[in-house]
Structure 1
């Protein structure tokens, strides 16, 4: 039975939204009385770029997300704040950009920077909501963990890397060191197959289990209509490995997929700007160096689409249950992808860059009684979702965050509240040390400023791309269009200087290796040692380069894994120097 008191609240919503658009964003929007707040269903998807039917992808089979789009406002120009899982999710859940927190890696928990931060679910919890997390919401792993303060009940876990078939798993009977030398598994962790298509049920993999649990939680919530819920559901596909039941692979024919027309990095871009896609190289069947064969590229693209369709089906199960329980008309639904993914464009795979394919994300807002089946070109960044949801729910504005509410855009999709968004990605090129690429994206341009933390702008290198004239980013135009660069630098100047990556405190450091009896006492210049190992001078150490001339031989292999804090399959100078600062035999 639909709750009539809720319908009485939402039926005049169109009039309220129209009024809001007229008087401006300063007017608050209260969707519900304090005793009858709207529910929130936040759907987070790992590694999802806008390869969706509702975003105009002609190949994607995503009927359920498309159905959600038919009752939503779809943001065509939404961007993550950093194209890697943990910093992106920190931005969503804290409303703070990576450069505000000083966290750009996977392993550093946001509370090491802001111990008293009030996360989005924590804020809703303080306002009387029952908050729960299923699957991947915060990044858990690489030394990072869940945030108990955010949730009313314990987090429901998910396994990102999981297989149905024994032959897909990582080689058995090998030590970690032996697996690292196996050509079938690349440097880093000895992971399993990069793809899997098995005749199994949806519940065999993590996303099926997450959908099943989400349906159960919705059923439980329907029994307590007096208690609003904030349910965060985190699906893990299409994250690597590309695994999905066979029926989702069968939705596509391999020859449907075309390879990217641009297979090289942008001309005149800094050599360190592209990603080296080390994450992909950690899986079996992927060469550790060089480009991929065309057949393998098509197989991976096929796998990405199949995994996306599998995830879409799980979203559909959750939406169907929301409808069946008659909760749809009192629930705000937001779908968000944490970052994009390179599918061979510019010769790149995975995320880990400031380019369009890594930074652009899908974002949908479905609000009861509001705008339906409309698209907006208004710019949005991940940090904006927190304050927008708060205003939609009639909650007070959260304090001390970077994002800004986009409720006016939701009421009037032709409006534009932002003239730019900002996102970042760190690098450690040889001879430069740690630097950060701060990217300003407007409706037409992207400017990337590469420089050291706190360094003078005169030391910066720049990238400039014009998406009207060159939508595929074939050439860095910074040297050709200095006037445009200066114009965009004025937008960048509005932002405070980025904080460097925070360091773990001495109390949390692990001293076990420092007490090794094999440790020499002589001090080594690790910057010079890095340069001597970096044979191709690309600013990164592969596993092979790291292992070359190691005094303790294969016993050094686990240290590569330990030092590789961002798990991209290579070591930057910062990772090499910082990770082994107490050792001499690297």
Structure 2
């Protein structure tokens, strides 16, 4: 008994030290996150960029050449990061929609805290879900830092900078104060050579340089803290950007991100390569949370949809990076994309909408107005003016040969087999994850008031395969499908009716035989279907009936139904004049200028000189 007591006393005395040793064996992890920038980095081969700190980090770490955001805009991308789930599977794909995530989802820092980590976030959240889960962080603020942790406690820390954010080009800096020359700035082939475009690009390169200075400071602080040899460092951007046709758009310019990861000698065995090397492994934001948990030795929850690309739970390489676009601010669109190591496939489900839909925040950049003015003046070449035209249903790009994605190969017979393969990969993934982004957002808003959309998709009420197939048929714009689309206009599922009506809009005047059924849908019990039918009827000579229906929809209690109706009214221009009093009344009753229906309404009246 005495021996047992001595042994127990020794164990009791040693327990705190054993626990501390066990905890401190875990690597610290530091994320440095910039905003709205593609790999305009010297280490990625950009000779115009001035990024000495990130370039040095790349010589000390591993550079990922195929790292991708899941969305080309912040809040949906960050929804992916914080939950480890693909936003279209749970309804968090539309910009600042804040619909509820399923109850079982924990923000990944919670798992780290439970494993003994100190978690700090400085400072951006923007998770695009309605719950904040404040307890995921020990501290989330402008003052948050790993330096506040307990002695010996491992940390996970984020430092996010807005220096390179889109807003950095809203106010022009005088030319003589710019460090990067507007005259020498390289322009992508899709941008016109205007003074405003050159200036915005040069100013943006200045801001990327400033962002690099921020990265250098965070790394210097880490070195000074004595923790550099215990810390795995990530540098990445939250998506691509920032000038027109990058952020918000489904090209390399919107989705390809810089990612450099440095492993100290202590954790070199966890690195995918030697310092200064590159890897072409495809990784997406869907993989970040699983990889983080894997590095920390935390079991990865089954609901997380990504593949760990680091740590003890390292998974096999993924073949594709999937990406999505839903509503961007006040403009409705629906796009999905698939990327392998060489090609990008894009599927446009609303090809009747132009790429360059007016978005108030995007148009704050002087370069956007100059691009639009050049289009109206007829001075653009074929590549530059595509942005102002309707979209093809499918796009396919050889990214190695065409990094700016301007040569669409989808219609080239030589790529027919590849196109079919990537089209099928896209279709299969949408069905597999039960993509709820194909619900009209007004319907999503209604459902989410009582049920998380993830749960709704698995309730038996959402026939995802039928919905996807209808959306694919509708988007093709093939008159041979009109008979089937007309039949679907009377389907018992309002989502099928919505997509069938959208298909008639895409067919335009070729959908004349469906006019009678579409008129009947103006009294449909579902407001999003009424609006979709009204939009189709604007193409079939029934604009007066359509405008009346759209005007009535502005009184809906559902904000996203109002946005849907306003999008159609704006396309009509002066022909929607009978709706202008209702549009003005909507503005008069709104108070928050961040409301997307208000932005859409104001644009209608501004265009009409009202």
Asked if TM exceeds 0.5, the reply is: yes
2:80 paired residue among 84, 91, 98: 91
More helix by share: 2
Name the residue aligned to 1:147. Answer: 133
Name the residue aligned to 1:227. Answer: 153
Q: 1:128-527 to 2 correspondence within 5 Å?
A: 128-139=116-127, 146-153=132-139, 155-156=140-141, 213=143, 217-221=145-149, 224-242=150-168, 250-263=178-191, 294-341=194-241, 343=243, 348-369=244-265, 370=268, 371-407=274-310, 417-426=317-326, 436-451=334-349, 461-480=393-412, 481-495=415-429, 496=432, 497-500=434-437, 503-504=444-445, 526-527=531-532
Shift of 1:478: 1.8
What are the superposed Cα offsets for residues 354-410 of structure 1, whole Å, 9 maximum, x if unpaired?
Answer: 111111111121222223121111111111111112222222223311110112899
TM-score (norm 2): 0.60
User: In the alignment, is the contact (CA less than 8 A) between 1:138 and 1:147 conserved in 2?
Assistant: no
Q: Measure, in 1, the Cα distance between the counterparts of 2:569 and 2:312.
A: 45
User: In the alignment, is the contact (CA less than 8 A) between 1:542 and 1:569 conserved in 2?
Assistant: no
Secondary structure in 2 matching 1:471: coil
Q: Measure, in 2, the Cα distance between the counterparts of 1:95 and 1:139.
A: 12
User: In the alignment, is the contact (CA less than 8 A) between 2:24 and 2:154 conserved in 1?
Assistant: no
1:115 paired residue among 92, 103, 106: 103
RMSD: 4.2
TM-score (norm 1): 0.62
Shift of 1:451: 3.7
Go from structure 1 to structure 2 and tell me whether the alpha carbon gap of 1:79 and 1:541 turns closer, same or farther (over 3 Å shift). Answer: farther
User: In the alignment, is the contact (CA less than 8 A) between 2:95 and 2:326 conserved in 1?
Assistant: no
Shift of 1:108: 2.7
Secondary structure in 1 matching 2:54: helix
Go from structure 1 to structure 2 and tell me whether the alpha carbon gap of 1:295 and 1:39 turns closer, same or farther (over 3 Å shift). Answer: same
Q: Measure, in 2, the Cα distance between the counterparts of 1:246 and 1:394.
A: 51
Unpaired runs of at least 5, structure 2: 1-20, 269-273, 351-391, 451-524, 551-564, 605-609
Q: Measure, in 2, the Cα distance between the counterparts of 1:137 and 1:64.
A: 25
Shift of 1:557: 3.3
Secondary structure in 1 matching 2:396: strand
User: In the alignment, is the contact (CA less than 8 A) between 1:89 and 1:138 conserved in 2?
Assistant: yes
Go from structure 1 to structure 2 and tell me whether the alpha carbon gap of 1:247 and 1:229 turns closer, same or farther (over 3 Å shift). Answer: farther
Unpaired runs of at least 5, structure 1: 1-31, 157-209, 264-291, 453-459, 510-522, 577-585
User: In the alignment, is the contact (CA less than 8 A) between 1:354 and 1:424 conserved in 2?
Assistant: yes
Secondary structure in 1 matching 2:120: strand
Name the residue aligned to 1:28. Answer: none
**Relative contact order (alpha carbons < 8 A, sep ≥ 6): 1 or 2 greater?**
1
Name the residue aligned to 2:456. Answer: none
Go from structure 1 to structure 2 and tell me whether the alpha carbon gap of 1:451 and 1:527 turns closer, same or farther (over 3 Å shift). Answer: closer
More strand by share: 1
Go from structure 1 to structure 2 and tell me whether the alpha carbon gap of 1:56 and 1:498 turns closer, same or farther (over 3 Å shift). Answer: same
Go from structure 1 to structure 2 and tell me whether the alpha carbon gap of 1:507 and 1:294 turns closer, same or farther (over 3 Å shift). Answer: closer
Q: Measure, in 2, the Cα distance between the counterparts of 1:569 and 1:64.
A: 40
Go from structure 1 to structure 2 and tell me whether the alpha carbon gap of 1:484 and 1:342 turns closer, same or farther (over 3 Å shift). Answer: farther
Matched pairs, number:
420
Shift of 1:63: 1.5
Go from structure 1 to structure 2 and tell me whether the alpha carbon gap of 1:382 and 1:315 turns closer, same or farther (over 3 Å shift). Answer: same
Name the residue aligned to 1:512. Answer: none
Name the residue aligned to 1:277. Answer: none
Shift of 1:122: 1.6
